[in-house]
Structure 1
């Protein structure tokens, strides 16, 4: 090959390389992708919890003595008032015991009066030195003994009266009755369950917060500052009344790593019963929150990244910290600011340093 041919070959090779490079640059800059302008918005952040609903007060009403149910004054599911009679247990034997106790009390009262008269007589004689000191002391001791027997008899009578009062079982507060397992004529013993009474004008919805979430809320002073708390009933219907957050437990359960809270809901129609379940939605407003679409992010080794677009339309892989996840978005805690441009979608086809052509701005 002569010199002239060699020069032409080198020239052709340089041209080919130049054309390839231009073609590569053209392909590189020809990627059209949509971008998203990072905005600050006011948004409502919601968290959902499974809840166990309990009556404000729910107590088991039990028999406090042995006996036969003589009368049931109420029905299952009935609303009752505080002090209203619910059950009557036969007290015939106790009435007999009361007659005996009254008789014994009257006897001891008479013995006390006799001992008092005798003491006055002995004191009069002792003053005139007609009786010795030990005789006076003996009469005083008799009076003390009579008074002690009288006090014991009075206590026995009061004990019988208290047992008789137990035969009429009354409602300890306003509420709704549950099942009545024993009917008229049933024999009950001390501790037998007669029914359960629930105070349903208000109910508590209990839920658990994981330990890490609890400390995060405390650190940001968010507990108790919720905009609204809603309850969804098991049939999927939203309950008409809003709730108020109340403290529940003072300790973190080491077995579950969580702490329980409760929400108080009005229940004027007694729609919600003790033991019901549901779903709590606790929402709070966050003002000027940075929000980005979830599709704009990708993860590498448990870290979240986006492609940030600079003024020269080149992308830079940037690590960000995301907070609450909404339906299709993330709230950004750090790594971005208002007005930044990020790749909206199509991140899988890009690599750090790529130059892009903006298709549209969202």
Structure 2
């Protein structure tokens, strides 16, 4: 009984404390409600500080109309990795996905036999050069040996002419004339023999020079074959389709992989005849990957086929994109937007004011000091502004800062418009 009497005052005291706490909470809530200007608040908070934000007044303006085309990415250039020689692969220096430069070494073949052939050809060239020197020396001697028979012939010819004249006058014996005649024939024969020997020596020199040329050609070809044991990248780009391993024996022309140039890369679209008025070489365009409507890539129309495809009646158009960072890959699909010659009225807001993800974009509108989250539908946009198709009216103040941290119902203060 004594215990019960002591507990009753304690319970009453606790009830009083609870009532005081609840009353305090109620006062805070009321103060919070008043500080928000009497607007409907989606969350109650004891924090009455306002978030300073920048906002822009949405106005109807004139924007360029754009046409959208489905696009696929293609390499701007590609080359096969292949060799000119048959041989055994000793080293491979590339992998799929690797970036390479034109002329970069990718594969090495066994060059043992070719190096041995080079040594053999060098020896043959040296031998041919030595034989040429010997032949030139012989030819020089043979030419000198022509001089004496030439002099002898001239002497024999003079003696014959003098003896014949005397013989014709009856002043010389017949035997003397016959001897002079015989000496002339002998001298003529000796000169012809010397000339033939000199000619043979000269021909030998030409033969040795031809041998040197053949040996030099063989050596050059063998050295060229040595170069061909190193297979290099045909162009700059990304390696794909690797089909080689160390120890493999390859034949000339075997495709060992491909090098695809993706910087620049081409976005390929099909256009109709009606689009040709604004889709022209040099026209600037915007490319976006499927699933990423906010990331844009600048491009320029590079070429348009001169004739339409007979089946589709469409013209194939290639758009060049720099792609210096290599993020765009061949075979990927996207969308190309090209400005037409027309304009239209639309509401546009800064890109930085947009939050959310594809299909669920939103902005915050200043509603008498309260950040009001508003779902929106977007249209065309550039690197700075977005067309708003629905969710924002002309005259609304759209908050452009702190979008990622704001909550629906936060108290805000516009510090700049």
> What range is the shorter-chain TM-score in?
0.5 to 0.7
Structure with the higher fraction of residues in strand conformation: 1
C-alpha separation in 2, matches of 1:239 and 1:126: 92
CA spacing shift, 1:285–1:113, aligned 2, 3 Å? same
CA spacing shift, 1:121–1:230, aligned 2, 3 Å? same
CA spacing shift, 1:141–1:280, aligned 2, 3 Å? same
Query: In the TM superposition, what are the counterparts of 1:137-176 in structure 2 within 5 Å?
Result: 137-176=199-238
Query: In the TM superposition, what are the counterparts of 1:34-183 in structure 2 within 5 Å?
Result: 43-128=63-148, 129=150, 132-183=194-245
How far did 1:44 drift? 2.6
How far did 1:165 drift? 0.7
C-alpha separation in 1, matches of 2:133 and 2:307: 62
Contact 2:79 2:234 survives alignment (8 Å): no
Determine whether 1:206 maps to 2:206.
no
Q: What is the aligned length?
A: 245
Match of 2:321 among 265, 268, 271: 265
Q: Which consecutive residues of structure 2, in runs of 5 or more, have no partner in the other structure?
A: 1-60, 151-190, 346-378, 380-417
Match of 1:188 in 2: 250
Match of 1:313 in 2: none
- Deviation digits for residues 200-221 of structure 1, max 9, x if unmatched? 23211122333x336x52xxx7
User: Which has the larger Rg?
Assistant: 2
Contact 1:59 1:198 survives alignment (8 Å): yes
Match of 1:30 in 2: none
TM-score (norm 1): 0.59
TM-score (norm 2): 0.52
CA spacing shift, 1:213–1:132, aligned 2, 3 Å? farther
Structure with the higher fraction of residues in helix conformation: 2
Residue 270 of structure 1 aligns to a residue whose secondary structure is coil
CA spacing shift, 1:102–1:233, aligned 2, 3 Å? same
Contact 2:142 2:194 survives alignment (8 Å): no
How far did 1:79 drift? 2.0
Contact 1:42 1:285 survives alignment (8 Å): no
- Range with bigger deviation, 171-180 or 61-70: 171-180
Match of 1:281 in 2: 337
Residue 89 of structure 2 aligns to a residue whose secondary structure is strand
Contact 1:42 1:286 survives alignment (8 Å): no
Contact 2:264 2:322 survives alignment (8 Å): yes
Match of 1:35 in 2: none
C-alpha separation in 2, matches of 1:164 and 1:233: 46
C-alpha separation in 2, matches of 1:156 and 1:238: 63
- Deviation digits for residues 269-328 of structure 1, max 9, x if unmatched? 2111233333322223425x89xxxxxxxxxxxxxxxxxxxxxxxxxxxxxxxxxxxx9x
CA spacing shift, 1:237–1:140, aligned 2, 3 Å? farther
C-alpha separation in 2, matches of 1:140 and 1:280: 77
